[in-house]
Amino acid sequence: MTRPSEDARERSPLLEVRGLVKEFRVGGGLPFGGPLRTVQAVSDISFDLFRGETLGLVGESGCGKSTLARTIARLTRPTGGSIRFKGQDLAALSQAQMRPLRRSIQFVFQNPQASLHPAMRTHDIIAEPLRLLNLTRKEMDSRVARLMEQVKLAPEHASRYPHEFSGGQRQRIGIARALAVEPDLIILDEPVSALDVSIQAGILNLLKEIQKATGIAYLFISHDLSVVRHLCDRVAVMYLGKIVELAERDALYETPRHPYTKSLLSAVPLHDPELERARERIVLTGDVPSPVAPPPGCRFHTRCFRRGALCDSQEPRLVAESPTHAPGHVYACHYPLT
């Protein structure tokens, strides 16, 4: 069986992001705001996302992964660049022009407690986005019943309120709501991070099943590299607003080229104590620098264990070394790992 990403590449992408920039103004507020400065949370990001595939977006807190996702869904307006989705540039659309496209891109958030209305019953939460579609009462009810079955909620759950559910069940409601309008893309922002470990697997399995059945594409944001390896076809690693490496899942995990990817992977503790003690661990020194004043040259050079002469002056571009050997494996580093 070929992986979805392999035959996906034959087709044209569902989403083409080019040179995307999102800036925020910070400070300037009186009397304690400090000087007015600009933060580039998303800095010149380009990638493609294909139908039916899952692209993982990983990085540490503050790297811009959530801002990138929110910008793509036009929950916030980009500062520059383009977002081509189904033949239109979302970056150039007004709020009104964006409205008919909103159903095509849905969002599932980290905390299902906060993203479900506490005073609405499950049925109404899932039905709410369907009100846009002019369905009859009967059509609506059968659609909701089908969605609940799809996310493995029992029919009697329809009349219950969010507080009557466990965290995992609440996240299932959030997923059913996102699926209701039959989107082409769901952006999942840390969908299992708030859940207990014994519950996470059920949600991850469910997401896989839904994708198999519907061919939906996922943009999956997570700081958990194990979860990403399980779910994603391709993975992009972000550091301080930039993609530093993007590759097929196995290539990224087994032969990472960027030193940041390598150190990120080596920092994840393994469950097997013998392997854990035996393996080589790169412990990075220091913290992620402030995005208000990113380091010149390569943004990672202040923490990098392979820093060389070029790194503090020249910014490395995202390049593919050998298109035949590992197609689509790109990284931004002057001194990549071999």
Partner 1 sequence: MSEGSLLSISGLTVSFAGRAGGRLTAVRGVTVEVAPGEVLGLVGESGCGKSATMMAVMNLLPDSASIGGSVRFRGEELVGRSEKFLRGIRGKRIGMIFQDPMTTLNPLLTVGEQIAEGIRIHDRTVTSRQAMERAVGLLETVSIPSPRQRAAQYPHEFSGGMRQRVVIAMAIANDPELLIADEPTTALDVTIQAQIMELLQRLCAERRMGLVLVTHDLGVVAGAAHNMAVMYAGRIVDYGPVDAILTRSRHPYTRALLGSQPRVDRRVEQLDAIAGAPPSLAAIPAGCAFHPRCGMAVDRCRTEQPADRDFGVERVACHRAEQVEKHFRVREGVS
Which neighbouring-strand residues pair with 37?
26
Rule CB under 8 A: choose which of 89, 164, 182, 272 binds partner 1: 272
Binding mask 217-236 for partner 1 (x = CB under 8 A): ------x-xxx-xxx-----
Q: Which helix (H) or strand (E) holds 214?
A: helix 197-214
Rule CB under 8 A: choose which of 75, 267, 292, 337 binds partner 1: 267
Query: Within positions 310 to 329, which residues make up the interface with partner 1, using CB under 8 A?
Result: none
Shortest distance, position 264 Cβ to partner 1, whole Å = 6
Binding part of the chain for partner 1, among 42-50, 245-253, 316-324, 327-335 by CB under 8 A, reads: 245-253
Closest CA to 256 of 306, 190, 312, 208: 306
Rounded to whole angstroms, how far apart are CA atoms 92 and 43? 18
Residue 164 lies near partner 1 (rule: CB under 8 A): no
Take residue 299 and report the two structure tokens written for it. 């943004």
* Pairing state between β 37-49 and 217-222: unpaired
Q: Are 21 and 78 in contact (CB under 8 A)?
A: yes
Binding part of the chain for partner 1, among 45-53, 84-92, 282-290, 306-314 by CB under 8 A, reads: 282-290
Residue 20 or 231: which CB sits closer to partner 1?
231
The CA-atom distances, in angstroms, between 17 and each of 46, 168, 209 are 5, 32, 27
Rule CB under 8 A: choose which of 80, 129, 167, 295 binds partner 1: 167
Query: Within positions 29 to 88, which residues make up the interface with partner 1, using CB under 8 A?
Result: 60-61
Rule CB under 8 A: choose which of 265, 310, 320, 326 binds partner 1: 265
Residue 281 lies near partner 1 (rule: CB under 8 A): yes
The CA-atom distances, in angstroms, between 38 and each of 79, 139, 302 are 12, 49, 21
- Left, alpha or beta for 303 (phi > 0: left; psi -120 to 50: alpha)? alpha
Environment class of residue 294 by beta-carbon count within 10 Å: exposed (0-12), middle (13-18) or buried (19+)? buried
Shortest distance, position 316 Cβ to partner 1, whole Å = 20
Rule CB under 8 A: choose which of 202, 295, 297, 327 binds partner 1: 202
Q: Which residues bind partner 1 (CB under 8 A)?
A: 60-61, 166-169, 196-202, 204-205, 223, 225-227, 229-231, 249-250, 253, 263-277, 281, 283-284, 287-288
